[in-house]
Homo-oligomer: A and B are copies of this chain.
């Protein structure tokens, strides 16, 4: 990926207040209004032909030229007061009662569907709205297979490296490029402080894996207790975490199933719970106290992300007995959570060869009552460390197409190191590509608009429009500059690949101009017309490789 750094003149914005701000190149923030007047953000890309395209915007106030950003004060609490005077219920409970919440209304406008459709999908458990009532800063979004496929970006410091400011900037940076949710996977010191800073500044839902912090408190998995874990979950609910990964499906009897795997247990949370079960030879306290956990999450409307602690860590272990045994238990827990009125999504693998991907979605939907599936990749092969954003984008596009609702990104540093700023961007862009490819494959009614607008711009040699309509205008422009730096090249009627004489798009322009000149619309008419006027066309044959302008 091209290295890009904060710079006023580009959509990488300015890093003045410690985080990246400023509009993405070629676009600016606009707001659409819902029936009751809620303001829903969108990113408007203005085109040189007077048209414009509004695209889904996850970047929050950071890309709003009119917003004042103060990382210490946090961003405005958009949802404060939305539930005033209302009894505390979860989005699932409201939906079941037939009530359309403001969050649903907001999401309907954001996804361009009816509010009633949003409500019905949430009521059915096919979609979740991760929105802890103590995280009013979040701009409501929905995760479900009948909506746009979403992308999650993981950030988080570790015992080995990184700082609070870095993590907040990673959150801002990841959502700038399109991350729909962020998971804070911090371990090591300052977990609470880091999470607080991220939550107060985050316009997207924040997910966590509470057991990491619980581990920090006790030091060894064998020392973990339900009480420590419970108190950690409450602490995080109070802070405003929107969804939590809980590895309650790792049962004692499943652990031996992993002993003969090529890569055993690769999930951190899964391995911690396995260690606890073995050390005490007792059933998982997460499984045994699951109903209590449901009551805690329900009171904040925190969404469960039931973790796949036994997910395969290699192609060899994909779709094995351990993985699917745990999935059955996740199905059982899904129904318990729903009885408690708690929203649920299910986490999935991991490392899976392409031909075994669809089965994961089929089983998950069957066992977990179509709860939104949220997968890590999967990587379609193990042989390309340093390129796992690509090995996994292949699997992610495939599993998204099969019905996965949210894709957890993988960066080029997966398996090797901690992602830096550029790795985070590379991972997010690769996953926006996978998610959009899946939206197209699923026939999402409006997904193709952006492809068509960009291809039309490309065909008409509107270079700047092509750059601005892309997922990364800066890098697209920078690559074009490498071969044809001059500004006139941005309006040239040929491109650097073939040069002026070989431009394949020109000839079509000419076929089309020819048809227009003679008012020919149907294919047949054009064909007939060309037959008559072939001499005339011959005489204009010399025009074939000259600029249209002439």
The residues of A with any CB-CB pair to B shorter than 8 Å are 1-2, 158-161, 187-188, 212, 215, 219-222, 253, 255-268, 270-272, 274-275, 278-281, 313-316, 351, 353-355, 380-387, 389-391, 393-394, 397-398, 401, 412-413, 415-418, 420, 429-430, 432-434, 436-438, 440-443, 448, 450-452, 454-456, 458-459, 466-467, 469-472, 475-476, 478-480, 482-484, 495-512, 514-515, 523-524, 526-527, 530-531, 534, 537-538, 541-542, 544-545
In the complex, are the beta carbons of A220 and B542 less than 8 A apart?
yes
In the complex, are the beta carbons of A455 and B316 less than 8 A apart?
yes
Give the distance in Å from the alpha carbon of A212 to the alpha carbon of B128 in the complex. 55
For residue A256, which residues in chain B have a CB less than 8 angstroms away from its CB?
511, 515, 523-524, 526-527, 530
In the complex, are the beta carbons of A534 and B281 less than 8 A apart?
yes
In the complex, are the beta carbons of A502 and B441 less than 8 A apart?
no
Smallest CB-CB separation from A527: which chain B residue?
B256
CB A273 to nearest CB in B, in angstroms, measures 10
Give the distance in Å from the alpha carbon of A256 to the alpha carbon of B314 in the complex. 50
Asked, given contacts A387-B472, A394-B433, A397-B380, whether A534 binds B280 with beta carbons under 8 Å apart, the answer is: yes
In the complex, are the beta carbons of B459 and A262 less than 8 A apart?
yes
Give the distance in Å from the alpha carbon of A386 to the alpha carbon of B11 in the complex. 15
Q: How many copies does the complex hold?
A: 2
Give the distance in Å from the alpha carbon of A530 to the alpha carbon of B397 in the complex. 41
Smallest CB-CB separation from A314: which chain B residue?
B455
* Most chain B beta carbons < 10 A, residue from A220, A272, A454, A480: A454
Give the distance in Å from the alpha carbon of A504 to the alpha carbon of B466 in the complex. 44
Q: Which of B263, B469, B544 contacts A459 (CB 8 A)?
A: B263
For residue A441, which residues in chain B have a CB less than 8 angstroms away from its CB?
353-355, 380
Give the distance in Å from the alpha carbon of A390 to the alpha carbon of B266 in the complex. 26
Smallest CB-CB separation from A478: which chain B residue?
B386
For residue A541, which residues in chain B have a CB less than 8 angstroms away from its CB?
220-222, 275, 278-279
In the complex, are the beta carbons of B278 and A511 less than 8 A apart?
yes
Smallest CB-CB separation from A161: which chain B residue?
B483
Asked, given contacts A384-B433, A415-B495, whether A281 binds B530 with beta carbons under 8 Å apart, the answer is: yes
In the complex, are the beta carbons of A456 and B262 less than 8 A apart?
yes
In the complex, are the beta carbons of A507 and B263 less than 8 A apart?
no
5 A/B residue pairs, CB under 8 Å, sorted by A: A159-B502, A264-B511, A383-B454, A386-B478, A417-B497
Give the distance in Å from the alpha carbon of A542 to the alpha carbon of B545 in the complex. 76
